[in-house]
Homo-oligomer: A and B are copies of this chain.
Amino acid sequence: MPKADGQRVLRDLNHLRTMGAFKTGVHRPSLGKAHLDSLSWLKGELEAIGHTVTIDGIGNVFGIAPGKGKRLLGGSHLESQNEAGWLDGPLGVVYALEAARAVKADPALAGCAVDVAAWCDEEGHFGHFLGSRSGIGKLTEADVDAAVDRTQGISMRDALAKAGLAGRPRVTVDASRYVGYLEAHIEQGDWLEANNLKIGVVTSIVGICQFLVVFEGVQNHAGTTRMAIRKDAGLACAKLCVAIDELFPKVCGPRTVWTTGRITLEPGAPSIIPGRAEMLFQIRDDQPAMLAKLEAALRDLVAEASKAGPCRGTVEVLRKSTPAIMDQRFQAAVEAAAEARAPGCHTRIPSGAGHDAQVLSEVMPSGMMFVPSIGGISHHWTENTSDADIAFGAEVYADAVGRLLAG
């Protein structure tokens, strides 16, 4: 059985934490210097155990072990959200790296291996799962051409050129070589912590429907325009938020979530009635039928608001991802590895966040495991997991990998 070294995992993660350190977290956006440093570090670590390593034309790292035996692909991502946590991504990469070391050192698994991937831009600075979609051969050159950093406005082409990666080929994984893909991640929620559990066996990854809702009214002077004749797009937007809050709980599934992440009123001045309002609205669920039902409910609410007036609303789909079901054998392997170490320390749980595993699941059996997030916090620099939980997770991950390679 491959045995992970928890202290080495912590050392690696703490070393990565120095790259783009921000308070107790990191600021390591895709293709920025800190991110590129982390890719180079990973390349070095993988080469140290004999892997052949490529950093490809979209910033994906692939470490391929020698040999022709059974192999598993492990990985996650090394970039972070802006000013965010140190474990979101790196945990899964370092677990895979450690499992590669442990499998290599395990005589019982001679000939078997773990290849390691760090997918670029899982956090979506430039797009949506650009790295993993490239890795499974589903990203076109036109997609890359169109990608622009949402914070800094730089195009992905320019960022790749600046990183010295322009012109390199993009590598596609040969799915037939793998028993499958296993990704570890922090939970990003409070379920494990609240229930004193250590391992989440992920059953599915939610689909996300992201909408842009726009209301058009009439911009006018906030002092001289009588209330009776106003067409206030901001008020229309607020009413929709409240209508959603009243309707959705009555029709949603047990784990559905929905979020208005941004509201923009134009022109956004204290003394001007907003003539246009935009809201970013998102629905997540692991059932395609539920996503479709709630999209219809949203469209009905906006149509009703338009009909009632005085503003006209429209709904645009910005993106839709399909829910992904995790492979049963992978779920069983993670569960057995956790149970073997601490009976009852685990639970089956869907992932409310998107992950590269949902992309990889399109081409090979895929699984995910979660470790606890302190306070359920993520996408913030205070995100954290205890050292003990990190080390425990690494052991479970390596053990699960061993079971999948041996099975």
A interface with B by C-beta (< 8 Å): 187-190, 206, 208, 210, 219-227, 229, 232, 234-235, 237-239, 241-242, 245, 249, 252, 255-265, 268-274, 280, 282, 284, 318, 351-354, 376-380
Contact = CB atoms under 8 A, between A and B. Distances in A.
B226 A257 contact: yes
Contact of A220 (B223, B271, B377): B377
SS class, residues of chain A in contact with chain B:
mixed
Residue of A208, A269, A284 ringed by the most chain B CB atoms within 10 A: A269
Contacts of A352: 221, 223-225
B222 A259 contact: yes
A232 B257 CA distance: 12
8 contacts: A189-B221, A189-B225, A224-B352, A235-B242, A237-B263, A261-B272, A270-B318, A271-B379
Contacts of A258: 227
A238 B219 CA distance: 19
Nearest to A238: B241
Contacts of A261: 222, 234, 265, 268-274
Nearest to A277: B263
Contacts of A260: 232, 234-235, 238, 265, 274
Contacts of A255: 226
Contacts of A190: 225, 229
